[in-house]
Chains A and B, each alone.
Chain A
């Protein structure tokens, strides 16, 4: 595949909109930012620019990672959280965004509970919009950092077998990862209870395999991505209890033993220790969870840099 050397998108709203070449271009940019992650290091590529983190849903990790990414690039960062937001006073998202835009901002990083909200904002605004999670739709930077971590560990993503385990139905991380891993040539298996991994997923994403049996889902894979069980999104009908979930699908040391010797365990965080994964596994030698977090900063630096640069071009 021909190398793409220019990034032209002002927004990153989803993996859906990206080509494989664009993803690879972004990874090469993230590679160059890795040294800047060391303490005391920083760049000034976004000096004089302002990034607003508009987080309309609770987040610690993603928001912090975006803040640090922007600061490592030399940008000013303002974070707006749900409680501080005027949206609770009934202002529309368009109005909130136009007001922020009017204050002379270069990019808005948004997390929102509504699927499609980032794309909507990208159409409303002429500044960069980066999706930090829109409802159950996409969480593109998470998928990018996941694939970046796999690439780092295995040399390439193409040909890898990746199992995504847990709450697929309500997960934006799963959707973005299905798209990202498929575009990069990995084989994806979705595993979990039938209520959270419905058969219709096969119609939505024909390239994936579905599994409701944990052993078959773990046996052949090179990586297993655990998803957090999201109490806040599930109605009570999707599985009987957290305890039952753990007994059927929780990853403990014994089950981790079904994995291939070099297979890794991933998690987007925050971890519910003892629910989807036991500490022994989360903190064990297979775990790349903290590498994911670290790479998340480099990947988000690349996203912010490329999108704002495309805008000023």
Chain B
């Protein structure tokens, strides 16, 4: 990040939302000096401060994403730290947690150090790496989790490989807890999803595509909850997609099990009917499920069962997605549209107000991983986003920052977007 601290910043007369501190002002000011939030600026500082008029805008902590891929190392045709973090900034994210299924996998100290070096050089936002849970995310032997922690990982996960063996998962939870690392799990019983292309249901039957049944996810959500109970270790369930998964987590939380969970913006907005024309951009893992699942996920986000909205940013090249449906890779490039997608699904739909959505994009994810991020509190790093909740825009592959064009919302009219993003007081997005 830019070493020189910029002039003080004064955001004047915006709606201020900071769920972490309970701050919700219809019209307030936010001050930044030396890269951190301050109570106020002196008259002299105010005179030389950069002033941003906040009328009609919302100032919120920079968003925290717990689930994204930035292409490095090894997948630079899809994305780079440079392009991916600019996409993050454009989407209002100031902290992103990357998945370890890079090439090579982040199952060793060297790869983590390489990623950190690349980020020190190229990143526009804070990038927090994760390490794999098992070597090569193959689910057989534990990765050197203690060394990975020392190298700077904030969590461990086998990403979309998931963990298929309950004994490995149990020991991994116990071992990672010793280092105060949360285990992230992509919940999927792979014995039930072999060859699966989309949600198993009426649409998969009509389209003749093999399905990924809800139960494949819910079985692992259940076993993870049981293992959290056994080990008392922290587990965070990634991008849940079904109503049943949300209900299992709701019950686990009622029993005070150390479980948190997230949902992606696309899963809040879309359902499997959108796949009727074999649009490979919508081929996601976990898959988009039915309308009832979508509605249940929104409700679970609102009632706190789900702690966070993630981007699940998984860039793929245009060539990779330009093929037969069952040969296309899973994933969507979504960092830049996650807020708009969630805003439409949660706020414009009337399910909740913007303060709640901001909480699930900031305080919720930060707390799930114990990150010092996601707040406007005095003394905290000045990571913030200015949102225009009324902005109408239509994303396109040409105008988005991501190197990948596989954003399924390209061409769709969206509402709400980040107009400026600051990391440590430095502007990383917006005019």
Using CB atoms and an 8 Å cutoff, list the residues of chain B in contact with chain A: 194, 197, 200-203, 205-210, 277-278, 319, 322-327
Given A115-B278, A120-B278, decide whether A200 and B205 contact each other with a Cβ distance below 8 A.
yes
The distance from the CB of A119 to the nearest CB of chain B, in whole angstroms, is 6
* Sample (10) of A-B pairs whose CB atoms are under 8 Å apart: A114-B325, A115-B326, A116-B324, A136-B210, A198-B205, A203-B201, A203-B202, A203-B205, A204-B206, A205-B205
- Report whether B207 and A115 are in contact in the complex, using a CB–CB cutoff of 8 Å: yes
Q: Number of contacts between A and B (CB, 8 Å)?
A: 66
Using CB atoms and an 8 Å cutoff, list the residues of chain A in contact with chain B: 92-94, 112-117, 119-120, 134-138, 169, 172, 175, 198, 200-201, 203-205, 235
- Report whether B205 and A137 are in contact in the complex, using a CB–CB cutoff of 8 Å: no
In the complex, A126 Cα to B208 Cα: how many Å? 25
- Report whether B278 and A116 are in contact in the complex, using a CB–CB cutoff of 8 Å: yes
Q: Which single residue of chain B is at the shortest CB-CB distance from A174?
A: B208
Complex contacts, B324 vs chain A, CB 8 Å: 93, 112, 114, 116-117, 120
Complex contacts, A93 vs chain B, CB 8 Å: 323-324
Of A92, A115, A198, A201, the contact of B209 (CB 8 Å cutoff): A115
Complex contacts, B201 vs chain A, CB 8 Å: 200, 203-204
- Report whether A92 and B206 are in contact in the complex, using a CB–CB cutoff of 8 Å: no
- Report whether A92 and B322 are in contact in the complex, using a CB–CB cutoff of 8 Å: yes
List of 8 A-B pairs having minimum Cβ-Cβ separation, nearest first = A137-B208, A114-B324, A116-B278, A136-B208, A204-B205, A115-B208, A203-B202, A204-B202
- Report whether B325 and A116 are in contact in the complex, using a CB–CB cutoff of 8 Å: yes
Complex contacts, B319 vs chain A, CB 8 Å: 92
The distance from the CB of B262 to the nearest CB of chain A, in whole angstroms, is 28
- With A115-B208, A119-B278, A136-B210 known, 13 other A-B pairs at CB within 8 A are A92-B322, A94-B322, A115-B209, A116-B209, A117-B324, A120-B278, A120-B324, A175-B208, A198-B205, A201-B205, A203-B202, A204-B205, A235-B194
DSSP class of B's interface residues: helix, strand, loop or mixed? loop
In the complex, A175 Cα to B209 Cα: how many Å? 12
Complex contacts, A120 vs chain B, CB 8 Å: 278, 323-325
The distance from the CB of B208 to the nearest CB of chain A, in whole angstroms, is 3
Complex contacts, A117 vs chain B, CB 8 Å: 324-325
- Report whether B205 and A135 are in contact in the complex, using a CB–CB cutoff of 8 Å: no
- Report whether B206 and A114 are in contact in the complex, using a CB–CB cutoff of 8 Å: no
Q: Which single residue of chain A is at the shortest CB-CB distance from B278?
A: A116
Q: Which single residue of chain A is at the shortest CB-CB distance from B211?
A: A200
The distance from the CB of A90 to the nearest CB of chain B, in whole angstroms, is 11
Q: Which single residue of chain A is at the shortest CB-CB distance from B213?
A: A200
Complex contacts, B327 vs chain A, CB 8 Å: 114
In the complex, A155 Cα to B115 Cα: how many Å? 71
In the complex, A117 Cα to B208 Cα: how many Å? 11
Given A136-B208, A137-B207, decide whether A92 and B277 contact each other with a Cβ distance below 8 A.
no
Given A114-B326, A116-B325, A235-B194, decide whether A134 and B208 contact each other with a Cβ distance below 8 A.
yes
Complex contacts, B197 vs chain A, CB 8 Å: 115
The distance from the CB of B327 to the nearest CB of chain A, in whole angstroms, is 6
Complex contacts, B200 vs chain A, CB 8 Å: 200
In the complex, A114 Cα to B202 Cα: how many Å? 18
